[in-house]
Structure 1
Amino acid sequence: MTASPKRPLALVTGASSGMGAAFARAYAARGHDLCLTARRLDRLEALAAELSAAHGIEAFAVPADLGGFEAERPILDAIAARGRHVDVLVNNAGFSIPQSFAATPWLRQRDFLMTLVVAPCALAHAVIPGMVERGGGKIINVASLAGFAPGAAGHSLYPGAKSLMIKFSQALDAEYRAKGVAVTAVCPGFTRTGFAEANDTQHLMDEAPRMFWQSAETVVETAIRANELGRVVVIPGWHNQLAAALLHYLPQGLVAAAVRRGSAKYHLGD
């Protein structure tokens, strides 16, 4: 399918399933062309074909492991080779490590940081100049409610990485809002995706009350609407907003103790 210069291009990382696939579907429905990237090429190609047929847009897949050095380069090169530029960047790719920090090989911890911190920053750094030159663009960084919480045993780097995405989004907004770039950090709580299956904690997540879970589609629509309205940090769901307020306003000693108790069952130990 021939790309139309009138259609904006959305680059979605971690697009093979879960929230990434939901972002892809949402932007395809809005008439965006898509660059879908993740490690599983077969899933990406199937989704690209589905969305191209359903919405009359161009969708193409670029397999990439964002845990690698300069992993963003093949993605950006593939986009440039098509004569395209990124109008919307969705930094969604991620995973978590439920084991203790030192019990996990450093290469795995390094891959975590590359995927959740370095790659999103590198992609933003690459696409922002073009967005500024064209007078507009959109960036959505998928953070987490955990970004407001203190650290606890297990998932050692996760709260810090997600907190960085929140602060990073705020900094980009301060620097580039006046130049037409809308930046949003979305901070979901429990969301129905394949995230927990990937780190072997699905059986534990299944014990959480159903009322506290949201669908990936709900989170994605909240994020896109917030970005379109110029909101920098958005927390989907009243229950998550209440939790974030408690994390902020309650005495930090009490918060830390509560988080440690609550998160203990999600720590798979050494």
Structure 2
Amino acid sequence: MSAPARRSVLITGASAGIGEAFARAYARRGWDLILTARRRERLEALADVLTPSGVKAHVVPADLGADDGADRLLAALRSQGLSPDGLVNNAGYSRTSGFLASEWADHDAMIRVMLTAPVKLAHGLAPAMVERGYGRIVNVASLAGTMPATGGDTLYGPIKSFLIKASQGLHLELRDRGVHVTALCPGYTYSEFHDVNGSREEVSAAYPRWMWMTAEAVVEAGIEGVEANRPRVIPGLANRLLSGLAQHLPNGMALRMVGGHARRLKRL
């Protein structure tokens, strides 16, 4: 009798932050890893750290912001005979310079990375999961997706809101077919995210420590949620309270609340 095949998971944006934390968490659970991001050297360094634990780590660099980035990644997986049992759509970033102050090409790339790629990867990989009767899809959204959009970071919240809704729809479609789909909606998380978008100093000064979570805690909540087949997970009591408050306030009050958030971060 042959041993059961090991599970494998594709993690986008795996080179740092929440993506790296997902890689480490799944490695601890004995899953093989398919790591993708733009920075090959960061992926290879992470693979070198994790493979001594007995897992296999495949490094498949990809630029999901390119016109055909998601298609090229799916083609690379097929060419290497990789058909993951899990998918963590984590790649993403924000642009805090304002909608009009940014070139359209920058917005276009952001939409491809954070909206088009997650949907296309799920569409490309979920059929094999359904055929096997097993699959796990985590779409890393954001607390921002449950609240009114923030000026200055104009597209980030709406993109994440779309991802939450798309995850809920896919959850309903696949929940009885062995494939679990969860939208993970973290709030402020210690990672490279704010360093990349240049807001580290502002957010650190604007919000107290109790509003922040570690990437490891966020990831554990996400994995627990997708295993339980919950359509949406908001990790952290403070984040759940903020989300609930925003959804129950009148629209004008909620908009003023996030407008104050933008002013604290000097985006308006």
TM-score bin (small chain): over 0.9
Distance 1:267 1:31 in 2: 44
Query: Aligned residue pairs: how many?
Result: 265
- Give the aligned residue type for 1:62: V
- 2:182 pairs with 1:173: no
8 Å contact from structure 1 (residues 152, 260) kept in 2: yes
- Give the aligned residue type for 2:208: P
Q: Which runs of 5+ in 2 are unaligned?
A: none
Percent identity among equivalent residues? 45
Aligned twin of 1:133: 131
Deviations 1:194-220 (A, max 9, x none): 000001100011112011100000000
- 2:252 pairs with 1:259: no
Deviations 1:66-98 (A, max 9, x none): 101221233223322332211000000000000
Aligned twin of 1:42: 41
Distance 1:100 1:192 in 2: 23
Change in 2 beyond 3 A, CA 1:260/1:268: closer
Aligned twin of 2:99: 101
Distance 1:228 1:152 in 2: 32
SS of residue in 1 equivalent to 2:175: helix
Distance 1:139 1:236 in 2: 17
- Give the aligned residue type for 1:106: W
Distance 1:239 1:125 in 2: 33
- Give the aligned residue type for 1:118: T
Distance 1:48 1:96 in 2: 26
8 Å contact from structure 1 (residues 147, 160) kept in 2: yes
- Shift of residue 266, structure 1, vs aligned partner: 2.7
TM-score, normalised relative to structure 1: 0.95
Q: Which runs of 5+ in 1 are unaligned?
A: none
8 Å contact from structure 2 (residues 151, 267) kept in 1: no
SS of residue in 2 equivalent to 1:63: coil
- 2:15 pairs with 1:11: no
Distance 1:155 1:61 in 2: 31
Change in 2 beyond 3 A, CA 1:267/1:130: farther
8 Å contact from structure 2 (residues 151, 262) kept in 1: yes
TM-score, normalised relative to structure 2: 0.96
Distance 1:74 1:243 in 2: 39
Deviations 1:28-59 (A, max 9, x none): 11111111001111010010111111x20110
Aligned twin of 2:154: 156
8 Å contact from structure 1 (residues 33, 57) kept in 2: yes
Distance 2:62 2:4 in 1: 25
CA RMSD of the aligned region, Å? 1.3
Aligned twin of 2:57: 59
8 Å contact from structure 2 (residues 187, 212) kept in 1: yes
Aligned twin of 1:230: 229
Distance 2:249 2:51 in 1: 48
Deviations 1:105-145 (A, max 9, x none): 00000000000000111100000111111111010000100
SS of residue in 1 equivalent to 2:230: coil
Distance 1:136 1:223 in 2: 17
SS of residue in 1 equivalent to 2:88: strand
